[in-house]
Amino acid sequence: MKILNIIISAFRALQRNKMRSFLTMLGIIIGVAAVIAMLAIGQGAEYSVKEQIAALGTNVLMVFPGAQQQAGVRSGAGSATTLTEDDAVAISRECSAVQYISPGAMAGGQVIAGNLNWSTSIQGVGTDYLEIRQWPIEYGDFFTDQDVKAAAKVCILGKTVADNLFPDASPVDQTIRIRSVPFKVAGVLKKKGQNAMGQDQDDVILAPYTTVIRRLSHWPNLRYILVSATSLKDIATAQTQISELLRMRHKIQPYDVDDFTIRNQTDLAATATATTQVLTILLASIASVSLLVGGIGIMNIMLVSVTERTREIGIRMSIGARARDILTQFLIEALVLSLLGGITGIILGVVGSNLISSIAKWPTIITAFSIILSFGFSIAIGIFFGFYPARKAAMLNPIDALRYE
Amino acid sequence: MIQNLAQSLPGINGTLIHIEHLTKVYQLGEVDVHALRGVSVNVSKGEFVAIMGASGSGKSTFMNILGCLDKPTKGSYILEGIDVGKLSRDELAMIRNKKIGFVFQGFNLLSRTSALENVELPLFYGPASNKTRKEKAMAALERVGLGDRIHHYPNQLSGGQQQRVAIARSLVNDPSIILADEPTGNLDSRTSVEVMGIFQELNNNGITIILVTHEPDIAEFAKRHIVFRDGKIRADKVNSRPKIASEVIKDLPLIDDEEEAA
């Protein structure tokens, strides 16, 4: 029997029990759609994490005060004057692998402009900050080294802050009051969107770190130092140089632990990516359980079908069907079920993923891989769960099958 | 298969079926059931044989072996020079497809499948192209007088018409023999005679027919009677004056329309 004819007769056989065929397929449809949607969500998360980390700049190092991950006797994190402005100056002067450096200070508070006010965080940074973060200015200017030295009361607004404080006018050269201290707005940053943790990166005000330390936070030490290495492959060198320099400057004995932590964006990226990958695998494996259940549904229905059609099998055998003809017939029926289900499931999964991303604003990515995987999976399920019933049909004795009532 | 040709006699004296010392033993648990106890018979090309006997006489077992649905325990069955006893399951399926046409008591048509598709079915398991398959099936249906009902489903046809579809199906591959197992068992007497008329017509055109029946009336249409009892052939005689269906039907009163006979 030619394969095309078998496929046609398989379609007919399935048409005879439309409702049953549909319900059987539903298991596969849901399973495949779930796998596609879960992979899309997982891979979407992975992609956006990667992209946001890349946006941070991959050759970036962050130096934090305090030995945050060590137990034992030590002065609490940040309580010691572990990172100072002088440390930052020393790093920029002595570490050859360091290209840009931006000391970091932080303050929070209510910001007032005219009759509008807004609560946000004020980041004290250096002039290199935008280079390190690869964050352009939309309009206006950034502050200068002169402003840093003078602890000038200038600031740059993030897009969100600008939109909230100056909904109609340009904020440049306007004056805002941060915790009652008047600041002149020098510029507005380009919109950057959410970061990997879902925070709005544009809800920020940048000011010279010296200004933040002296006029706002009144905390003499740096919260962090942001450093970029001269190139991606120099990250390790930069890390070693900074570490050695700071140990020396902080007079740390060889047997003592660091009183600072250097974090590497590449490590962070790898960790975050690995986390989202685990998430993707987890989601997909949960979804594939439903695919498995769908497969068992196919086997169940095929077994029922073989029993119901025992007489038909007998007739076919009596007029010359070989065991393998019967096997192929039922196997193809199972395959048609699972493939139709698979294709419908893929369509449903793609539509569903798009719905998720448009309604819940989650990034979703549908890759060719996930479609091929689901398609392959449904073929495999059709063959795997269709084989036993098909074999059962093929092994029937023609005489018994003909007599079956 | 070819090595068996030497043993065969067709073409020389027209022997189609050569059966010698055929026995069939079924094992039902501890007990051996001897369904056939040494049957020897020859059937020539063009014969119309009625196999008769009570239930349990072994005629059904004999029929199954003749139809290559079952294999003998001992003895040989040579069909057109092929020693069927030595064939594999798949080879038997091929013999059934090419050389044997079945007609059953319960018609055994595929439901929700048109008459034409039912008749085409044996050709699906052969090399026929879609076009020749359709042509052959049409020709077979016309031969049994159902050329105008090709797209009807079995449930839209009367019993007699269904049996004619089944006969068309058995004919479609030009078999060496047609095996009819109680073909009139589910039909009323007038329709039975009509069906026998078709068999006689086919037989007159040279097709060998072997008919299993327990009705003596029906057997009267055949040219030879073989009677089974207790797994053996008890009688094998020529029916010198078989009834002619086309004549019998003239004498039958018209009771009902054929459409209602089902």
> What is the per-residue pLDDT across B87-143, written as a single tens digit (0 to 9) for each?
999 999 999 999 999 999 889 999 888 999 999 999 988 888 889 999 999 999 999
Q: Are residues A18 and A125 in the same domain?
A: no
What's the confidence (pLDDT) of residue B4? 44
Q: Tokens for A15?
A: 């048409």
In the predicted structure, residue A169 carries a pLDDT above the cut 90: no
Q: Return residues 94-133 of B near A (CB < 8 Å).
A: 94, 96-98, 102, 104, 108-110, 112-113, 121-122, 124-126, 130
Domain ranges of chain B: 46-68+99-261
Dihedrals phi, psi of A321, to nearest 5 degrees: -70, 130
Q: Which residues of chain B register pLDDT less than 50?
A: 1-12, 261-262
Among B15, B48, B12, CA closest to B223: B48
Which of A3-12, A127-136, B235-244 is most confident?
B235-244
What is the predicted pLDDT for the residue at A56? 64
- A188, A300: one domain: no
In a shared domain, residues A298 and A206: no
Of B70, B89, B169, the CB nearest to A399: B70
Give the pLDDT band (50/70/90) at residue A72: low
Residue B252 has what pLDDT?
Answer: 79
Please say which residue of A205, A226, A247 terminates a domain: A226
Facing A320 at nearest CB: one of B96, B108, B112: B96
Among A170, A194, A226, the domain-final residue is A226
Contacts of B108 in chain A (CB under 8 A): 311, 314-315, 318, 402
A176/A216 Cα distance (integer angstroms) = 14
Q: Are residues A120 and A220 in the same domain?
A: yes
Cβ <8 Å between B93 and A322: yes
Say how far apart CA A38 and CA A374 lie, in whole Å: 12
The Cα A161–Cα B19 span in angstroms is 102
Handedness of CA A90, A95, A99, A103 (dihedral sign): negative
Is pLDDT of A229 > 90? no
pLDDT at A55 over 50: yes
**Chain B contacts of A325, Cβ < 8 Å?**
93, 125
In this prediction the pTM is 0.71
Q: Tell me the average pLDDT across A318-331.
A: 93
Is pLDDT above 90 for A51? Answer: no
Fold annotation for B46-68+99-261: Rossmann fold (3.40.50)
Residue span of the structural domain in which A118 resides: 102-226
Q: Is A14 a member of any domain?
A: yes
Q: Is A196 in the same domain as A288? A: no
3-state helix, strand, coil in chain A (%, to 5): 55, 20, 25
Nearest CA in chain B to A398: B69
Is A118 part of a structural domain of the chain?
yes
| Predicted pLDDT at A50 | 76
Domain-located, residue A28: yes
**For A325, nearest residue in chain B (alpha carbons):** B125
A45 in a structural domain: yes
Judge if A212 and A292 occupy the same domain.
no
Can you give the C-alpha Rg of chain A in angstroms? 33
ipTM of the complex: 0.89
* Average pLDDT of chain A to the nearest whole number: 86
Of A194, A226, A258, the residue that ends a domain is A226
Is residue A234 one of the residues assigned to a domain? Answer: no
Q: Is A193 left (phi over 0), alpha (psi -120 to 50) or beta?
A: left
Could you tell me what percent of chain A has a pLDDT over 90? 37
**pLDDT at A311 (0 to 100):** 92
Domain membership of residue A22 (yes or no) is yes
Specify the pLDDT at position B7: 44
**Does residue A84 sit within a domain?**
no
Helix intervals (H) in A134-250: 145-150, 159-165, 209-211, 235-249
Q: Does A322 touch chain B (CB under 8 A)?
A: yes
Closest residue to A320, CB basis, from B64, B70, B125: B125
Mean pLDDT across chain B: 88
Report yes or no on A198 lying in a domain.
yes
Instruction: Output the pLDDT for position A74.
Output: 53
Say which residues have a Cβ less than 8 Å from residue A71's Cβ, sequence separation at least 6.
none
To which H or E segment does residue B42 belong? Answer: strand B31-44
How many domains does the structure of chain A reveal? Answer: 2
Predicted pLDDT at B259: 52
| Nearest CB to B96; choose among A2, A318, A324 | A318
